[in-house]
Amino acid sequence: MRKRITLYVGNEIQSTTEPISGVMAANEFQIAQDNSFFVPFGDYDWRRTDGQMVIQRFDEDAGKLIASAFNVAVPILGRFVRKPVYIGHPDVPGNETRWPDKKSYGWITGAEIVEVDNQRGVRFACKWSQAGQELVANGHFLFYSPYWGMIPAGHADNGRPVYRPAKLVSMGLVNDPNIPVPAMANENQKGEEHMDKYKELLAKLAKALGMAADATEEAILAKAGSAQSELAAATQAKATAEQAKTTAETAVASANEAKTAAEQAKATAETELAAAETKAANERTARINDRLELAVNAKQITEADKPNWLTAFNENFDAAATKLQAVKPLGGDSVTQELGGRQSNTFSAHDAMLNAVNEVMAAKHISFQAAWNEVETTKPELAQALKTEKK
């Protein structure tokens, strides 16, 4: 026998009815099933209408993808998707004449990956109708054939294109399947118990969703799907909030580090400023002391006068310097009169420095401190002589 299969790419149907050749024998899988269909994993040949041989790769990944469609990600939900069981494949376009009976003789209610006689595959649970039970019991059909949508999955080592089943559309009762599947049991087993369990799970789901006990299966499944979407949205929102929290915490940590660095820089600047102010104050005091020492040596003031003049200089340096400059030497106009026998044209280094400073002040009308600084720069020999004389 040859059957047809539809190839799906995304949500669109690509290449419609493709006849399958190379039907595999099924006698080696003569396993009685308990109201279920077992489809083993493997690579199965498929010839397209253009004559090209391709491969159906039904593997663990395909099994997980197909089985997941029968499950909802809430523990109490169970399996709710149902797929029809036909005689042959009347739902494949082009098979209407060959398989005119479109009545469903059962429903696929679940799928799981199992191992049967050392071979892994997918077991599809089936709930038979009365007519379906009679077909199997009377031996009209011993085998079954899955009709599924497939997606491209690369190429095999021999270069053939590979397609992987992604969605079970229906199951067909046949006597010569393309895929080697085990034979069905020719007896009616516990189908009713499976349906009772299914209904029980539906009732639990309806209660968990706050729905009425008489809610339809379609309504329950629709609300369950909506709840799953809301859960996914809430999970995403939580992840986004946690990321925002982490970003904020990182920003706060960076701000704290910047604050600490700024405080350290401020403390360093304050320390350096204090040191600079102390140095400037010390230099100012040294200048004042030098000026007063010159005044004492020039007999303008006495040692006893120095504290008062020191206070005056600290309050207003320029005013005190101007006032001191105007003070005449004690005991006469000539400095040499107080130097004990020195010639009238003989001056100490202090005298020379003071005279030079006075000349600059008179010529440029600047403060004593400014004139002193200029003399030190323009007449370094006087400053050097002053230092030598002090020694």
Report DSSP letters for 35-99, one per residue.
Answer: SEEEEE-EEEEEE-TTS-EEEEEE-HHHHHHHHHTT--SSTTT-----EEEEES-TTSTT-TTT-
Of 188, 215, 242, the position where a domain reaches its end is: 215
The Cα 290–Cα 372 span in angstroms is 11
Among the candidates 190, 215, 240, a domain finishes at: 215
Lowest mean pLDDT among 127-136, 190-199, 324-333, 340-349: 340-349
Instruction: Return the ∠ at Cα 129 (arms to 126 and 135), rounded to 5°.
Output: 90
Encoded amino acid at 308, one letter: N
14 found inside a domain: yes
Cα dihedral across residues 268, 272, 275, 281: positive or negative? negative
CA 279 to chain centroid, in Å, comes to 54
Is 230 domain-assigned? no
Is residue 276, in this structure, part of any structural domain at all? yes
pLDDT in tens, 240-291: 999 999 999 999 999 999 999 999 999 999 999 889 888 888 888 888 888 8
Task: Please check whether residues 209 and 274 belong to one and the same domain.
Answer: no
> What is the pLDDT at residue 329?
79
Note the pLDDT of residue 192: 47
Percent of the chain clearing pLDDT 70 (strictly above): 77
Q: Is the pLDDT of residue 336 over 70?
A: no
Burial (Cβ within 10 Å: 0-12, 13-18, ≥19) of residue 120: middle
> Contact 361/325 with Cβ under 8 angstroms?
yes
Say if residue 192 is in the same domain as residue 327.
no
Would you place residue 11 in the very low, low, confident or very high pLDDT band (cuts 50, 70, 90)?
Answer: very low
Q: Tell me: do 173 and 300 sit in the same domain.
A: no
Residue 330 banded pLDDT, cuts 50, 70, 90: low
**3-state DSSP assignment of residue 100:** coil
Distance (Å) of CA 369 to CA 199, 290, 322: 108, 11, 10
pLDDT band at 180 (very low <50, low <70, confident <90, very high): low
Do 64 and 190 share a domain, yes or no?
yes
Phi, psi angle pair for 38, to nearest 5° = -110, 125
Question: Is 125 contained in some domain?
Answer: yes
pLDDT at 182: 55
**Contact assessment for residue 185 and residue 32, using Cβ atoms and an 8 Å cutoff:** yes
Judge if 76 and 164 occupy the same domain: yes
The two three-digit tokens of residue 272, written as one number: 């350096």
Judge if 376 and 309 occupy the same domain.
yes
What does each C-alpha distance from 17 to 4, 61, 101, 207, 319 come to in angstroms? Answer: 6, 25, 18, 43, 114
Cα 215 from Cα 208, distance rounded (Å): 12
Closest by CA position to 37, among listed 66, 11, 65: 66
Say yes or no to pLDDT of 195 above 50: yes
Q: Which domain holds residue 332?
A: 268-390
* Residue labelled with tokens 């279920």: 36
pLDDT score of 136: 81
* pTM exceeding 0.75: no
Q: Which of 173, 192, 215 is the last residue of a domain?
A: 215
Mean pLDDT (the chain) is: 77
**pLDDT over threshold 80, residue 227:** yes
**Contact (CB, 8 A) for 170 and 83:** yes
User: How far is CA 65 from each of CA 164, 247, 253, 272, 275, rounded to the nearest angstrom?
Assistant: 10, 37, 45, 72, 77
Number of domains the chain is built from:
2
In the block, residue with structure tokens 């009772």: 196
- Write out the H or E segment, with its range, that includes residue 115: strand 106-116
pLDDT (0 to 100) of residue 371: 86
- Looking at the structure, tell me whether residues 37 and 171 fall in a common domain: yes
Q: Could you tell me if 375 and 369 are in contact, meaning their C-beta atoms sit under 8 angstroms apart?
A: no
220 in any annotated domain: no
In a shared domain, residues 289 and 193: no
* Residue 179: predicted pLDDT: 62
Domain for residue 176, yes or no? yes
Residue 73 has pLDDT above 80, yes or no: no
Do 209 and 272 lie in one domain? The reply is: no
